Chains A and B, each alone.
Chain A
Amino acid sequence: GQSLEQPSEVTAVEGAIVQINCTYQTSGFYGLSWYQQHDGGAPTFLSYNGLDGLEETGRFSSFLSRSDSYGYLLLQELQMKDSASYFCAVTSGGSYIPTFGRGTSLIVHP
């Protein structure tokens, strides 16, 4: 089967940098995605890593190490609006369907 581990909660202050880690166990790994969900809102796609390395999109970056079965989401210059839940998700085993982690609640303090 598949399993994903990510911290349940992370706190940081405005303007700081925060890293949300995700480790996974799966066979036939394809890639790792990240989604953001604000309270009461729909999850929205942030990024996808199919290859090792760092993908940067503005203040957000995502990293993947296939050999370590590990990835992270890096948020820079944190803003209050970044307070949300962040989910990592793996696609693997010939399926296009992502399996989601339990989510990390990011709380940004002023």
Chain B
Amino acid sequence: DVKVTQSSRYLVKRTGEKVFLECVQDMDHENMFWYRQDPGLGLRLIYFSYDVKMKEKGDIPEGYSVSREKKERFSLILESASTNQTSMYLCASSLISGRSYEQYFGPGTRLTVT
């Protein structure tokens, strides 16, 4: 079974803090993704990566950055957290070919910025 883990289930940070969200997958998937999920808005793609040290912007990259130093690990960074970044953050991974449409998600990190 593919397993995607995220470093925290719940996180509370203050405005202006730098926040790191970590994601690890154990199935040697090439692709990794960061989404945020807000009520009524579905899943919106923040950034994705198809290889180590490679990154591409998604639909809503503003205020975020990412890092992929190892194939199994993809980090989301909020350089200076703001209250409008309070959300559920979901990490996912997938193969780069074949069943690339099938994403495996982590349990999510619910981030509250106060």
Which A residues form the contact surface with B (CB < 8 A)? 8, 30-31, 33, 35, 41-45, 48, 87, 89, 91, 96-103
Contact = CB atoms under 8 A, between A and B. Distances in A.
A101 B101 contact: no
Contact of B108 (A42, A89, A100): A42
Given A96-B31, A96-B94, A96-B96, A43 B43 contact: yes
A87 B43 contact: yes
B38 to A, nearest CB: 10
A91 B31 CA distance: 15
Question: Chain A at the B interface: mostly helix, strand, loop or mixed?
Answer: strand
B48 interface: yes
Interface of B: 4, 31, 33, 40-45, 48, 58, 90, 92, 94, 96-97, 99-108
Nearest to A42: B105
A41 B107 contact: yes
Contacts of A96: 31, 94, 96-97, 100-101
B42 A33 contact: no
Contact of A97 (B33, B40, B42, B97): B33
